[in-house]
Amino acid sequence: MPRNPSLENTPKLDDWIEIGSGERVTVRSGKVDIGQHVTTAVALIAAEELDIEPDRIDIPIAVTGIAPNEGITAGSMSMEQSGEAVRRAAATARRHLLGLAAGALEADAGELEVNDGLIRVAGTNRTTTYWELMASRQFGIDVDEDVELKSPDQFKHMGQKAIAREMPGIVTGAHTFVHDMTWPEMLHARLVRPPHYWAKLKSIAGDAEKRLAGQGLELVVDGSFIAVAGEDEWAAVKAAERLKNDTEWDMGDGLKPQDVFQSLTENERVALPVIDGVPQEQPVPELGDPPAGAAITLSARYERPYTMHGSIAPSSAAAIFEDGKLSVWSHSQGIYLLRIAMADALRMEPVDVTLHHALGSGCYGHNGADDVALDAALIARAIPGRHILVKWTRDDEHAWEPYSPAMAMQLRASVNGDGLVTDWSHETYSDTHVMRPRPGANRAGAARLLAMRMVENPLDAPLAEPAMGYHIGIHRNLDPLYDFPERRLVKNLVRDLPLRTSAMRTLGAYSNVFAIESFMDELAEASATDPVEFRLKHLGDARARDCLEAADKALRGTAETPPGGRGWGFGFARYKNVQSYAAVGIELEVTDAAEVKLHRAVIAADAGQVVDPDGLSAQMEGGLIQAASWALYEQVTFDRDGITSRDWDTYPILRFGNVPEIEVILMRRPNAPFLGAGEASSGPAGAAIANAVYNAAGIRLRRLPLTPDAIRAAAMAP
């Protein structure tokens, strides 16, 4: 029984490895590269086990029906799933090739040496190559999950410095994103959106279609879904802008004005206790009185607003519909699942829909990539036989992507006379984080795509059900890694909240870790204990302790206090309690204008066996930078008439001027399994910033973002 889910879905070696012509090797992965350098790591892994140079390896962009079906590139699972699958596939291929070579060279397999695909009988001139042995033939065998793998002392490529495969193209401007794709006679399309989710089309000026046709443009209308398409991109852009003035909408009741943080704990909700990282379908235990031996009991509530992906380049997709078949180019992270959802939306058979992954600038999580793919498909179906390229505008991206939910975390803990936590309660309140277009009952996959709310026969957005898996959605990292003897953990899926939400980096982990690690600092202070020492007292995991101690040493060294006017803060977590460990230290100041200025950041990370150290460091740095942006700046705003944070002025993000000096310390663990790393530093970084603000200014802020207005209001509070 396969133990790797990727190999369970795709057990055949030929689906992973192809010994092709021109002395090249093709390695296929169903995980897509969205800037995390997974293709670089996969190439290094395959090269290592095959005994060839990485530059011989081609990793084609994933296409449904060709690439292995590895689900969604998400949750920091690429190395654990695809990396491990490719490693075993490459090792199986090498063993098979050596068996063929032994027969061809009339030698024992143990006598053979391999150097960059050249196989030699030791001490002789008798040789062959991978390419001579295979001549583009297929292996015809399954991947052996128990195949012998190389030991770290044999590594030539894994763990060594490598230039990311896509980096030369990005640096030189030669990199092609989906936005840059062209075909002969291609049409550019732009959308005309309603003011908000619930607005419905009443009318379009009667002569609009005729006027557009006179400009060589086509109008596509399907219910409240409106698009303009033409060969001249700028003409399509201007026409869509003008068409807004020719369009009248029934605004309905609009978005419901409310205090979202109040709604989080007052609205109807589904409440479930969480035990060992898994929700249980049983009553939530009451929060009782503090233990009799408690020396200290504290309570605190932490909050985070709606935040958006804010992808630097708005989402884009291309499509062509001809001869009853649809081809789509999308920067979706789950092309196989999207194919099923789109086929359902269009009432087509999945076999008649082909999804090509295409690189998109700034794609991660469930942003607008899946939605714009359906937009392109709907327009292509209305205008068959022509390639259609759709680009969302900045306004589209900010106002229509699925957001990360607003969250509230209510914590209470007791500490005994020895300074140890004896009782811990943590309840998290949130909308769903998992609304990617997955197939399900009542056309659930199609219903999760934005355009299906707007077409002539719309689908209602499906009612979110609680995610019941290990550390998924709301309860990701709700269960702390610390050694607390008693813990009461509760997830609350809150109903009737105003904005569309889904997956963004870390799901609920960022907010949960922000709350846990802020509260650990509050408990440490109440116990008159150094915050790092307080954490170490509750950490039996040696690898966790190593990370925390390394970050502490790198940030504070032997100094007892920060440089004048600055503050230190720490945060720690193990992502999902099973993936990478990360401890973050921050040094910052709070200026006279109440602005937070970041100076230094230290990340100590343990991701198991390190394949691509530069790529791993970049992931840790990127997670910290985005976490800092969330902590200090980001918040979706709205009123009855729709989203009001529709550009970079109304939705500010971290700029280069406030990026700190970052040091990444990688804990090398030869022989350890790969641990997912892409989202490990985010939660600790957000908490470390909040803790450092308190250390610098003596102001404890429990609601993000930590804006100057919030800091001033807290400073003036009685």
> Are 549 and 607 part of one and the same domain?
yes
Using alpha carbons, list the distances in angstroms from residue 292 to 263, 485, 533.
34, 15, 25
> Are 144 and 211 part of one and the same domain?
no
**Could you tell me if residue 100 is inside a domain?**
yes
**Could you tell me if residue 501 is inside a domain?**
yes
**Could you tell me if residue 301 is inside a domain?**
no
In terms of DSSP bridges, do strands 269-275 and 487-494 run parallel, antiparallel, or are they unpaired? Answer: antiparallel
**Could you tell me if residue 300 is inside a domain?**
no
**Could you tell me if residue 698 is inside a domain?**
yes
Unique residue bearing structure tokens 């970049």: 618
> Are 562 and 588 part of one and the same domain?
yes
Joined tokens for residue 701? 């802020």
> Are 417 and 566 part of one and the same domain?
yes
Q: How far apart are CA 567 and CA 207, in angstroms?
A: 64
In terms of DSSP bridges, do strands 316-322 and 325-330 run parallel, antiparallel, or are they unpaired? Answer: antiparallel
> Are 131 and 35 part of one and the same domain?
yes
Q: How far apart are CA 204 and CA 532, in angstroms?
A: 63
> Are 396 and 432 part of one and the same domain?
no
> Are 359 and 492 part of one and the same domain?
no
Q: Supply the pLDDT for residue 75.
A: 66
On the 0-12 / 13-18 / 19+ scale of CB atoms within 10 A, 24 is middle
Boundary residue ending a domain (400, 429, 447): 400
Q: How far apart are CA 259 and CA 466, in angstroms?
A: 23
> Are 190 and 114 part of one and the same domain?
no
Joined tokens for residue 680? 């490990």
H helix runs in 559-681, sequence order? 613-632
The sign of the CA dihedral 557, 558, 561, 563 is negative
Phi-psi region of 670 (alpha: psi -120 to 50; beta: other; left: phi over 0): beta
Q: Supply the pLDDT for residue 1.
A: 39
**Could you tell me if residue 329 is inside a domain?**
yes
Q: How far apart are CA 675 and CA 199, in angstroms?
A: 45
Joined tokens for residue 487? 């813990």
**Could you tell me if residue 338 is inside a domain?**
yes
pTM of the model: 0.94
> Are 69 and 190 part of one and the same domain?
no
Q: How far apart are CA 541 and CA 590, in angstroms?
A: 34
Total structural domains within the chain: 3
Q: CB under 8 Å to 277, separation ≥6 — which residues? A: 470, 471, 475, 478, 479, 576, 577
Boundary residue ending a domain (348, 367, 400): 400
> Are 206 and 75 part of one and the same domain?
no
Q: Which amino acid makes up residue 3?
A: R
Q: How far apart are CA 642 and CA 45, in angstroms?
A: 48
Unique residue bearing structure tokens 């109903």: 495
> Are 389 and 479 part of one and the same domain?
no
**Could you tell me if residue 169 is inside a domain?**
no
> For 37-74, what is each residue's pLDDT tens digit?
788 899 999 999 999 999 999 999 999 999 988 888 77
The neighbour count for residue 604, using CB atoms within 10 Å, is 28
Q: Supply the pLDDT for residue 82.
A: 86
Q: Tell me the residue range of the domain where 485 lies.
A: 407-461+473-716
Q: Supply the pLDDT for residue 640.
A: 95
> Are 690 and 636 part of one and the same domain?
yes
Boundary residue ending a domain (102, 123, 158): 158
Q: CB under 8 Å to 704, separation ≥6 — which residues? A: 303, 304, 305, 514, 630, 631, 635, 686, 690
Residue segments in the chain with a per-residue pLDDT below the cut of 50 = 1
Q: Give the CATH number of the domain where residue 584 resides.
A: 3.30.365.10
